[in-house]
Structure 1
Amino acid sequence: MAEANLLLDALIDETGMSYAGLASRLNQGHTTRYDHASVRRWIRDNAIPRGDAPERICRVLGAALGRGLTLADIGMDRARHGDLSDTPLRTAIDQAAALWRGDYKQREAVEHTRLLSGSAAVAPVFAWENPPDDIDVSHRGPLAVGAGDVARVRAARDRYEQMYRRVGGIPVRPRIVAYLNNRVGPLVRGGYDDRTGRELLRATGGLVALAGISAYDADRQALAQRYLLHALRMAKASGHRGFGGYCLALLANQAMYRKDYRRVVQYAQTALRGADGHLSPALMVDLHTLQAKAYAWIGDIRGSHRHMTHAEGIQIRPENEPPETGYVQPGLLETQHAEVLRRLGDLTAAETYAEQSVHPSNGTHLRGQAHRLATLAQVQGERGDAEHAAATGQKMLDHTEGMESGRLHDRVTGLVRALAAYDTSDVRAFRERAELQLHRDQ
């Protein structure tokens, strides 16, 4: 399936024209009969019209905006059409800005974004790992950008991350997207030297990645994938290899959720290889535990245990970690290992790890505690210990109360299904409370 032409859609929106309005202007003085459906098809299907129509689109839109436009600016450069392997930085930034503009304005092209698969999902990752690097990311623009602007973008990312942990991705995502469109957009199009530009792209990439996390949590998987891939491109331009590894870890987490286990391994191995020496210990733990889970689902027991051992041998010092890896909190390794062992059928060992995961609750945010309790309850239920599973499930519901999160919704739904075969008073009480909470979340 073709990728929507968000660049063209964003430019049309910026002019204030309708699709029919652009088509009408293109027809003036020509024998063409373009209409709103033609323009919609160019955007939706990323189609390039025949003849000199692309050049005419540049002239019409450029005149309305008061600036010159190229075929690359409108997403109709035939020489590079559909090539995701080596996107020039300026084009990549324009594409990212077009995405968050369209998301902010709820444009049709963004609403119907489709998941990339096959080589299209791998090409941006290959481009991140391999040369050429961006030699100079400086830019000339109307707004002078300095260190204070970069610091404000970093602070915004940290603020929105705390909101995400408290209330979930569904209510936070629109706020992040609005900030990207209204505050960050003018900055990335502004004027800055190479050093400031790299720090700006690093900070912007962190916020774009968080938009992807929130879209993932809201079960907008195709949109989440786009945000994460844009963050990865910004990571490359910033020169921060460790941040690129973080973006790949997020892509691997999403692939795990989508049950694309071989892609999990591919993303995780690329991160470990491409950012070798730049990854924080917490990120390395996450990448190894992800592979352990993926290998467990594939049926490779030896590979699964190998990565569990790697993860357990890494020592994390939170004070030395970058802000983004704060999700690797106490108990994460244990709950991931519990999931691995549960998949491998070793429920006794899985319960031991799951119990360990819920002990270090101090310093672990509510969202993380909810996931750990969900894993423990799931294991207890599968072991036939319905009473303890129901009690643990009640604790999980205490933590998820008031959160709007697609992933936590799935965890609650999964536990309700796991306990469906039991009909004790405690299980009924849990099920009734869970169903009430699920109904409120709809």
Structure 2
Amino acid sequence: MSRTRQRNEKLAAAIAEAGWSHAQLALAFGRVAMERRSEDQAGVGRSHVSHWVAGARPSGAAPDILVETLSRRLGRTVTADEIGLTPLVSSPILDWNADTLTALVDLGRSTLDVERRSVLRAGGYSVAALTLPDQAWWDQLSDRTSRQHSGRLVGAGDLDAVRETVQLFTRIDQRRGGGHARAAVVQYLTSDVAGYLRASYTDDGVRQGMFSTAGELAYLVGWMAFDNSEHAIAQRYLAVAVKLAAEANDAPLAAHILRAMAHQAVDLGHHRQAVRIAEASLEDRRYDYASHRERSLIGVVHARALAVDGQRLAATRALLRAERDLASATAGDDEPGRVFFFGEASLAHESACTLRDMGDLASATKEFQRSVRTRKTATFTRTHAVTLGYLGAVQARSGSIEEACGTWSEALDVMDGIHSGRARQAVRDMRSGLSVYRAKGIHSVTELDGRAARYLAAVDR
């Protein structure tokens, strides 16, 4: 590390504002570095922080990781200049005002190009970027109907073809996981579909439908990246999906995407931000214009956010409302195809996660079991595997290790052919739960632990 002659008082002040010691900052820094897959920065310790405060220049991606770490702690955007540094990696903050189609195509290129994708991953998931635009922004995008159009005329048949393709990709994701075929989805979105978005339309209904469908496809890419634990990429695609939904003036679709953003924030431990985004997904037309099934989906994620934030009573109320909404859904409802997956099994899964996070392991176990029992396994294989992983973890925490081993063994059985970061994490958590029993000579534990280790060795190559 190169040294300056002057103590970095700005960095020292920010650390003091955070209420952290140098060791505590180093620990938090390491978590963000691992999240970004910046292994070379994950070993930062107390002495590194002390050197930085003394005037040493952090190397590599450390300045941007430091900015993100302090932003999360302080609950506001911390800039590199504010802590006496100049960023070496481009800022991860999302630009909500950038042109939607330009942002879409640029993001697609970054995702498909190996070198640029590594830079995108290094940028990391940004908590500071979770601040949503104000109502004026939504109104402005919904009025954006005039673009420079190509000579191509797009009609209802073209829109139907894109919708069919989106459904095909969605079903592949549900069965095989977000790590399978995502490059093909990105290619279709940023070439064929992006071309449709710059075309002329037979009527405004086709235009709105095309932008909504493109928003669903961008959401799908983001969700696939989230499922595969590529959180920086997921965050950026979800933001583009929100912008497409806004241009389509499709409030329920915006709610659907914001729900996914809240879900990601829950899983990454950003509880306060998760609640705020989940609440935004329920505002005004987003909830009121949604179908009963979609209302239940966005509502149960709101319950999950409230649960991890410690708001038990509000979480319980949100769960009950989600149950009522799903009970109101009927086969004849006019509802979008994107919610085809959400039924009794999905609601039970999310309810179980909510109850687990509130500490009610017995009720969580029952809901996970209901989810396993009612799910169409052949269609929703990825989620079935994850649910089994979560169920086994709750059973192990409850002291039923033999039962947990049986559940986890079933989870491994169905993971063949699934490419999912969430599934891989469930197996890592499985091994962690088994670790306390390894020395006790329990045959089922030894056998299962070996299977889990072999699975991880194969998929982590």
Aligned counterparts of 2:175 and 2:102: Cα–Cα separation in 1: 32
Q: Is the 8 A contact 1:381 1:418 kept in 2?
A: yes
Aligned counterparts of 2:371 and 2:105: Cα–Cα separation in 1: 40
Aligned counterparts of 1:407 and 1:295: Cα–Cα separation in 2: 22
- Equivalenced residues, count: 358
Residue 385 of structure 1: how far off its partner (Å)? 0.6
Of 235, 238, 249, 1:228 maps to 238
Closer, same or farther: CA 362–212 of 1 in aligned 2, 3 Å:
closer
Higher mean C-alpha displacement, 398-407 vs 140-149: 140-149
The answer on 1:326 being equivalent to 2:340 is yes
1:200-349 equivalences under 5 Å are 200-274=210-284, 275-314=286-325, 315=327, 316-317=329-330, 320=333, 321-349=335-363
Structure 2: state its 5+ residue gaps: 1-63, 65-92
What amino acid sits opposite 1:147 in the alignment?
A
Residue 186 of structure 1: how far off its partner (Å)? 2.2
Equivalent position of 1:416 in the other structure: 431
Residue deviations 1:327-368 (CA, integer Å, cap 9, x gap): 323322222222222222222222222222221134761122
Query: Secondary structure at 1:313's aligned position in 2?
Result: helix
The answer on 1:190 being equivalent to 2:199 is yes
Aligned counterparts of 1:132 and 1:170: Cα–Cα separation in 2: 32
TM normalised by structure 2 equals 0.72
Of 384, 389, 392, 2:404 maps to 389
Aligned counterparts of 2:94 and 2:353: Cα–Cα separation in 1: 38
What amino acid sits opposite 2:443 in the alignment?
S
The answer on 1:146 being equivalent to 2:163 is no
Equivalent position of 1:433 in the other structure: 451
What amino acid sits opposite 2:158 in the alignment?
D
Aligned counterparts of 2:205 and 2:409: Cα–Cα separation in 1: 51
Residue 222 of structure 1: how far off its partner (Å)? 1.3
Q: Is the 8 A contact 1:86 1:127 kept in 2?
A: no
Of 391, 396, 412, 1:376 maps to 391
Residue deviations 1:408-434 (CA, integer Å, cap 9, x gap): 111121122112212411122221112
Residue 112 of structure 1: how far off its partner (Å)? 4.0
Higher mean C-alpha displacement, 126-135 vs 318-327: 126-135
Residue deviations 1:94-135 (CA, integer Å, cap 9, x gap): 1112211232233525454443333x4223475665556315
Aligned counterparts of 2:445 and 2:263: Cα–Cα separation in 1: 31
Equivalent position of 1:162 in the other structure: 171
Residue 267 of structure 1: how far off its partner (Å)? 1.5
Equivalent position of 2:49 in the other structure: none
Closer, same or farther: CA 116–126 of 1 in aligned 2, 3 Å:
farther
Q: Is the 8 A contact 2:262 2:305 kept in 1?
A: no
Q: Is the 8 A contact 2:386 2:422 kept in 1?
A: no
The answer on 1:99 being equivalent to 2:107 is yes
What amino acid sits opposite 1:440 in the alignment?
A
Aligned counterparts of 1:290 and 1:83: Cα–Cα separation in 2: 23
Residue deviations 1:147-179 (CA, integer Å, cap 9, x gap): 222222211111111211222111221111111
Equivalent position of 1:352 in the other structure: 366
Aligned counterparts of 1:83 and 1:163: Cα–Cα separation in 2: 29
Q: Is the 8 A contact 1:84 1:123 kept in 2?
A: no
Closer, same or farther: CA 130–322 of 1 in aligned 2, 3 Å:
same
Aligned counterparts of 1:154 and 1:146: Cα–Cα separation in 2: 13
Higher mean C-alpha displacement, 148-157 vs 106-115: 106-115
Residue deviations 1:253-292 (CA, integer Å, cap 9, x gap): 1111211112221112111114132122222222222222
Equivalent position of 2:83 in the other structure: none
Aligned counterparts of 2:137 and 2:431: Cα–Cα separation in 1: 41
Q: Is the 8 A contact 2:176 2:381 kept in 1?
A: no
Equivalent position of 1:361 in the other structure: 375
Residue 194 of structure 1: how far off its partner (Å)? 3.3
What amino acid sits opposite 1:141 in the alignment?
S
Residue 435 of structure 1: how far off its partner (Å)? 1.5
Closer, same or farther: CA 369–95 of 1 in aligned 2, 3 Å:
same
Q: Is the 8 A contact 2:255 2:298 kept in 1?
A: no
- Give the percent of matched residue pairs that are identical in Structure 1 and Structure 2: 26
Query: Secondary structure at 1:408's aligned position in 2?
Result: helix
Aligned counterparts of 1:317 and 1:243: Cα–Cα separation in 2: 20
Aligned counterparts of 2:151 and 2:130: Cα–Cα separation in 1: 35
Q: Is the 8 A contact 1:115 1:225 kept in 2?
A: yes
Q: Is the 8 A contact 1:184 1:204 kept in 2?
A: yes
Equivalent position of 1:58 in the other structure: none
Aligned counterparts of 1:335 and 1:196: Cα–Cα separation in 2: 36
Closer, same or farther: CA 194–106 of 1 in aligned 2, 3 Å:
farther
Aligned counterparts of 1:325 and 1:388: Cα–Cα separation in 2: 33
Closer, same or farther: CA 185–336 of 1 in aligned 2, 3 Å:
closer
Aligned counterparts of 1:340 and 1:401: Cα–Cα separation in 2: 28
Query: Secondary structure at 1:219's aligned position in 2?
Result: coil
Aligned counterparts of 1:215 and 1:245: Cα–Cα separation in 2: 19
Higher mean C-alpha displacement, 107-116 vs 270-279: 107-116
Higher mean C-alpha displacement, 345-354 vs 360-369: 360-369
Structure 1: state its 5+ residue gaps: 1-43, 45-81
Q: Is the 8 A contact 1:330 1:357 kept in 2?
A: yes
Query: Secondary structure at 1:279's aligned position in 2?
Result: coil
Q: Is the 8 A contact 1:128 1:232 kept in 2?
A: no
Equivalent position of 1:133 in the other structure: 142
Aligned counterparts of 2:130 and 2:398: Cα–Cα separation in 1: 38
Residue 245 of structure 1: how far off its partner (Å)? 0.9
Residue deviations 1:278-323 (CA, integer Å, cap 9, x gap): 1222222222222222222222221222212222222133663321
Equivalent position of 1:23 in the other structure: none
Query: Secondary structure at 1:292's aligned position in 2?
Result: helix
Aligned counterparts of 1:207 and 1:400: Cα–Cα separation in 2: 25
Q: Is the 8 A contact 1:261 1:294 kept in 2?
A: yes
